[in-house]
Amino acid sequence: MSPAALIPTCSTATPQENWNALFKAGERVRLRVINGSAMSYFDVRIPGLKMTVVAADGQPVQPIPVDEFRIGVAETYDVLVSPEDDRAYTIFAEAMDRSGYARATLAPREGMQADIPERRQIADRGMEAMGAHGMGGMDHSGMSNMAGMDHSGMSNMEGMDHSNMSEMDRSNMSNMEGMDHSSMAGMDHSSMSNMQGMDHSNMGGMAGEQAKIGENGLLVAGEAQPGSRYDQAGIGIDPDERRVLVYRDLKAFTPWPDRREPGRELELHLTGNMERYMWSFDGKKFSEVTGPIHFEKDERLRLILINDTMMEHPIHLHGMWMELENGQGELIPRKHTLNVKPGERVSALITADAEGSWAFHCHLLYHMDAGMFRVVQVS
Ligand SMILES: [Cu+2]
């Protein structure tokens, strides 16, 4: 499976600049895709080419043929592709909220380009698919406006249609976790300036992509309770039978060396308040905690992350690997960044083999800055 060519180029090109990589027909190319954005999740595909995922966060995994994968901030996936035709292919990375895209081109010669796919709609199939609990009774007419919200306008909030927000059934809003319900209903627009840094893409994308799962029966509405349901960790298989990578697919080649059972469990809640733009672990911002999280040197522990918010968070640990407990037994994959979806519970095994102080944080940079950050001290 070794690729004939590794393209060791980083791209900071805009879609218009159209970063280009050349291939020879029939050769196998390995692409390493790193989400280096500050706040955006991307759905990545190459129309006309099957991709085979062979590594996650730089760690080899057993080959997984996919048509598309979602990549959180700081995650990395390596894919093999074998372009055979004498034509260009568009590497298309659509922002999760469909507000924009990144694009590059694989081609046999310079100067070629392929079509840019039409941007897909954010699906609007109801709030109960957002993964929060008890939201089944929500007024979907109000939320449909939220999903279809003009995100470009939201960056300054000018374009936001507040009347749509008020259509929401407030009595049901009280079921929404992690939100300041009282102030949501009577939203103070002056405080909206706090939302400038907010990742609206996630906000818009949440309802859409989760709901897509629901339509395929992989995620039944209201079923997204905390639990290790890794078939829900990604998008699943969508209506036109395209295969989309999910965490449960990731399977290592050989067991990682430390096979000890964890000596203890450490549970952390991902917490926040969208309107006030507060993000934290266990309800405490970094500035409010008294000290680091302590790992005993060389201990084996289980880290459990529970997302109490309505957004996805890519949680990143420096210095040590997290072995994602995704149901693959001894062959669970290891990652440095774990995407945790709204309402989801994710667990990982860690061998604390790296002495020192390490950053542990949400890799949405505004969240990190707001306080979703801790120091892990191994000693
Ligand atoms: Cu976050």
Q: How far is the CA of 114 from the centre of ligand 1 (A)?
A: 35
pLDDT in tens, 99-127: 899 999 999 999 999 999 988 887 553 44
Q: How far is the CA of 306 from the centre of ligand 1 (A)?
A: 12
Q: How far is the CA of 337 from the centre of ligand 1 (A)?
A: 12
- pLDDT, residue 11, reads 61
Q: How far is the CA of 338 from the centre of ligand 1 (A)?
A: 11
- pLDDT, residue 338, reads 98
pLDDT in tens, 8-32: 455 678 998 999 999 998 899 999 9
Residue 303 has pLDDT above 80, yes or no: yes
Average pLDDT over residues 286-290: 95
Residue 309 has pLDDT above 60, yes or no: yes
Q: How far is the CA of 340 from the centre of ligand 1 (A)?
A: 9
- pLDDT, residue 240, reads 56
Give the chain's mean pLDDT: 76
pLDDT in tens, 175-191: 333 333 333 333 333 33
Residue 6 has pLDDT above 60, yes or no: no
Model confidence at 274, pLDDT cuts 50, 70, 90, reads confident
Q: How far is the CA of 221 from the centre of ligand 1 (A)?
A: 24
SS (H, E, C) the chain: CCCCEECCCCCCCCCCCCEEEECCCCCCEEEEEECCCCCCCEEEECCCCCEEEEEECCEEEEEEEECEEEECCCCEEEEEECCCCCCCEEEEEEECCCCCEEEEEEECCCCCCCCCCCCCCCCCCCHHHHCCCCCCCCCHHHHHHHHCCCHHHHCCCCCCCHHHHHHCCHHHHCCCCCCCHHHHHCCCHHHHHHHHHCCHHHHHHHHHHHHHHHHCCCCCCCCCCCCCCHHHCCCCCCCCCCCECCHHHCCCCCCCCCCCCCCEEEEEEEEEECCCCEEEECCECHHHCCCCEEECCCCEEEEEEEECCCCCEEEEECCCCEEECCCCHHHCCEECEEEECCCCEEEEEEECCCCEEEEEEECCHHHHHHCCEEEEEEC
Between 120 and 261, the more confident residue is 261
Q: How far is the CA of 82 from the centre of ligand 1 (A)?
A: 36
Q: How far is the CA of 233 from the centre of ligand 1 (A)?
A: 16
* Residue-range domains of the chain with CATH: 5-107 (2.60.40.420), 180-379 (2.60.40.420)
